Structure 1
Amino acid sequence: MTVTQLQSRRSFGVVGGLGALAGADVFFKLLKATPAQSDAEHFDVLFEQHPLKNVGASRGATTERKLYIFDTIRDFEKRGVTTVVLPCFLSHTFIDELQENSSLQIVDMLDGLRIHLRHRFPAARRIGVLTSDYIRGERLFERYFTAPGFDVLYPCSCVPGEIDPVTRAVYGEDGIKTGNLGEIPVKLLREACADLIAQGAEVIVPGLTEIGLVAQQIGPLDVPLIESNQVYAQYVVAGDYARHGRVFKVGVVGGVGPAATVDFVQKVVRSTPAARDQDHIKLLIEQNPQIPDRTENLIGEGADPTVSLYATCKKLEAGDADIIAIPCNTAHAFVERIQPYLNVPIVNMLTVTVDYVRSRFPTLREVGLLATTGTITSAVYQQALEARGLRQIVPGGNLQQRVMSAIYGPRGVKAGFTSGECLDDINAALNDLIEQGVEVILLGCTELPLLLSGQTIACANGRVVNVVDPTDVLARRCVEYARAAVVSAN
């Protein structure tokens, strides 16, 4: 792949402001590491830095620091950045929190250093680390270096009651963060290196990006001193890093109708094997009851819901949804119109339901359908059923009007009723399908499961018919996709 082709795929966003000097040093080395022979061949790089109170001076993972980085990454997303460069070891103590909530790749500095050490110094086992007391307490380097078999060493020449010499060299009154790149911080760092060498360190790794500004002044030493900023920059440009897992997210087009959306979410929760809150599926719900009625458009002169459905899906897409679920059967008459313009797949409730029916009842030939007149008129279920060798059976005579009354009537389920007249109407249509000889009935409107529960219905004549709830099938399929993504990430 040529440099130009590589550029077309990746653009970098550098999170500055976490120390200004160190961030600029990584940015400069990133540009130097780019294999470009002219200005035009360089990567697109955004360097974002805002002066925030205490962010540069703090030695801990403050809320302000976390939210500053997260907001910067979200801004990168809007500006077309594909890859985030985070030139701050302290911020890598919570990189998982950032990665789980971002669609962008955040290049892990510790991964780059670990790979460099294994390849460049394969025989080394004792790694000396120059880092702050906070990062040392968080055991950041142990998380990355222990598994490959490295022993992590830290300087032990610290006066009781005072901060350690490396922290003083960077954060002290005359430290590097103040702009002092002279003898005071260099002397402290040189003493820390001598301490590590005395402990048997075979390689020394700076664990604060500010140290890169004075690395050449520290040496020469009896063991190699890695230039961490340069290693990170080369790792970023090489692009040979693993994609860190982001939590799979199901986007839900809600409000079509509102009660059916709540029913769908409950079924997602019930279908998820979970021992704690964090085991459940991540959902993004755009509750938009103002989407024009789908049935009114399909059988009358109601407003076209295409743009509203598309706009809602685009909001879910912008919210990093991995798949989109629309818990409304009739709305699927419009799916083929909008899917080609989306970058996220819509899980087709009708298709997955018919596939489920075909697999569960392999000898079946006819399927009863209780649905809105709009769904029946659009023939979306009929086409899906016929594609799997099944014939659609609908209520006869005026019973379809009673189905519509059960859903849309003044005492129907959309008006909040689940007993009385609406239940009588739907039972009349149900009995008609049974009399036509069907053995399986689809509840082809997401409001109907609010009236009819259970997987079977026993009739007065002793027959038992199977009832399939597409909302439940859709919920279980979304859970399957999410769980499969977790397995794949691991």
Structure 2
Amino acid sequence: MINEKIAVIGGLGTLSGADVLFKLLKNPKVLKNQKEYEFIFEQQPYSQINSPLYHEDDIKSRKFYSYNLCKSFESKSVSKILLPCFASHTFFEELQKEISIPIVNIFDALSLYLKSSFEKNVKIGILTSDYVKENHILKRYFQGYDLFFPTDQEHMMEAVYGENGIKKGYFDGIPLEYVYTACSELMDKGCEVIVPCVSELSLVTEQLWKRGVPILDVNQIYVDYALGNFTKDVLKPFKLGIVGGVGPSATVDFMNKIIINTAAKRDQDHIKMIIEQNPQIPDRTAHLIRKETDPTIAMFSICKKLEAAGVDAIAIPCNTAHAFVKSIQEHLTVPIINMLTVTVEYINRNFGSNTKVGLLATSGTVQSNVYLDVLSEFGFEVIIPDEEHQKYVMESIYGERGVKANFTAGICKDNILKAVDFIIRKGADVIILGCTELPLMFPDESEIVNEDKIIPLVDPTLVLAKKIVNLSKV
């Protein structure tokens, strides 16, 4: 039985990536339990392979390259990813935020090894690239140690990245001598250990050990850490998936309500949202009333796309669409937050179970009983328009000058107010605006005053938006 599925990103340092894979395969823990491990090594053509490491284009290219491979590994359901490239760990946090699989941090591995092997204030020699040397990352991970660098950094870089350097497969001769000279200088300065923050230097550690150099095999430390000490849960920001286009304006209105109800001081405090705005989803009401094209597959297809995109929950800002939610949910692993259920729970919590609830919705929503069933579960008495006033509701939504045609005042508002007046006269204590376009006609109204009686208007999209905001905090 496979317990670990580990991926290695190759290509950033071709030979060092292969070295990491080899050390994984020959690790005693793996050799003893080979059936428990699966390894994936992927190396793609890397366009900036010959660019100077400090070049801005090279670092950007590494970001794109690493991200693409990590996303590929996500689809293969690996348990952890190894990134054997010190320069690429300078953007580790940027990368990890976008990847659901934990990436093993090579600096964490080295930091832990140093803490367990050396006292603080020990002099440590560092061999690394100009780019990593000038980055803040070394001081951050090696706090408490005195860090020393070779004087001749140019020869150090030539040894690794030169035309006849270690990166090109030259492990002895001038490249090795340059590295040995740098190590000797650091040892003369009193460095007790030399930490190479260039993964290719693991390819020459044995030759240096034979010369008495106390240099670490960083690739081996990285592999041992990944197989042993490394445990990490990736804390990813809450991500909402939205089935949009049902209808388009209601989708935008719903998103805006989420934004308005999020306590944010900066852009980064807001909720991640992925929206598939697909107005071509067949009309829900037309199917429910006249048996026209079934929208189930179109909605399900969007939900699966959102699921694949790694959302934590799905919202559908369309009341009528909830007639299809139960059948769709059975085939998803991500929950659809049911707008109708949270709306009825809100009414029960704020107005009590003895409240008479008026429902304004499309004929499809009414005839499907999706709202009526939920309201009945809570014991609510429900008041709906009669046939005459239901026509006013439908005209206010679907008419030539209805809200779906982007009208929010005039005849559409007059028509819906006729239906409102009817259900208030029938005794409604609270009214559900049970079509997501209806609240667009009441942008600044949360209640209706009728003959000295104040009737609250419940906006399901607002209730759902607030529910989503609360879920994002959990």
TM exceeding 0.5: yes
Q: CA deviation at 1:127?
A: 4.0
- What corresponds to 2:366 in structure 1? 376
Cα deviation 1:100-139 (Å, max 9, x = unaligned): 2222322222222222333344667554332111011112
Cα pair 2:448 2:456 within 8 Å, conserved: no
Does residue 139 (structure 1) correspond to residue 136 (structure 2)? The answer is yes
Q: Give me the CA root mean square deviation.
A: 2.4
Write the mapping of 1:430-441 to structure 2, written as runs, cut at 5 A.
Answer: 430-441=420-431
Cα deviation 1:258-291 (Å, max 9, x = unaligned): 1111111111221222222222221111111111
Write the mapping of 1:181-330 to structure 2, written as runs, cut at 5 A.
Answer: 181-219=171-209, 224-238=214-228, 240-330=230-320
Q: CA deviation at 1:25?
A: 0.4
Alignment match of 1:29 (pick from 19, 23, 41): 23
1:462/1:232 Cα in 2 relative to 1: closer, same or farther (>3 Å)?
Answer: same
Partner SS for 1:226: coil
1:240/1:38 Cα in 2 relative to 1: closer, same or farther (>3 Å)?
Answer: closer
Query: What are the ranges of 5 or more consecutive residues in structure 2 without an aligned counterpart?
Result: none
Alignment match of 1:59 (pick from 53, 58, 80): 53
Which range is displaced more, 15-24 or 167-176? 167-176
Cα pair 1:82 1:104 within 8 Å, conserved: yes
Q: CA deviation at 1:399?
A: 1.0
Cα pair 1:29 1:230 within 8 Å, conserved: yes
1:156/1:362 Cα in 2 relative to 1: closer, same or farther (>3 Å)?
Answer: farther
Cα pair 1:31 1:42 within 8 Å, conserved: no
Cα pair 2:359 2:432 within 8 Å, conserved: yes
Q: CA deviation at 1:364?
A: 4.6
Whole-Å separation in 2 of the counterparts to 1:120 and 1:373:
73
Cα pair 1:126 1:152 within 8 Å, conserved: yes
- Number of residue pairs aligned between Structure 1 and Structure 2: 471
Q: CA deviation at 1:423?
A: 0.8
- What corresponds to 1:17 in structure 2? 11
Cα pair 1:351 1:384 within 8 Å, conserved: yes
Q: CA deviation at 1:207?
A: 0.9
Whole-Å separation in 2 of the counterparts to 1:451 and 1:239:
59
Does residue 480 (structure 1) correspond to residue 470 (structure 2)? The answer is yes
Q: CA deviation at 1:164?
A: 4.4
- What corresponds to 1:115 in structure 2? 112
Provide TM-score, normalisation by structure 2.
0.92
Whole-Å separation in 1 of the counterparts to 2:278 and 2:229:
40
Does residue 151 (structure 1) correspond to residue 145 (structure 2)? The answer is yes
Which range is displaced more, 290-299 or 14-23? 290-299
Q: CA deviation at 1:239?
A: 6.9
Whole-Å separation in 1 of the counterparts to 2:113 and 2:370:
56
Whole-Å separation in 2 of the counterparts to 1:340 and 1:107:
35
Whole-Å separation in 1 of the counterparts to 2:340 and 2:146:
56
- What corresponds to 1:128 in structure 2? 125
Whole-Å separation in 2 of the counterparts to 1:347 and 1:452:
24
Query: What are the ranges of 5 or more consecutive residues in structure 1 without an aligned counterpart?
Result: 485-490
Whole-Å separation in 1 of the counterparts to 2:67 and 2:365:
43
Whole-Å separation in 2 of the counterparts to 1:200 and 1:367:
81
Cα pair 1:132 1:164 within 8 Å, conserved: no
Q: CA deviation at 1:468?
A: 1.4
Whole-Å separation in 2 of the counterparts to 1:122 and 1:346:
53
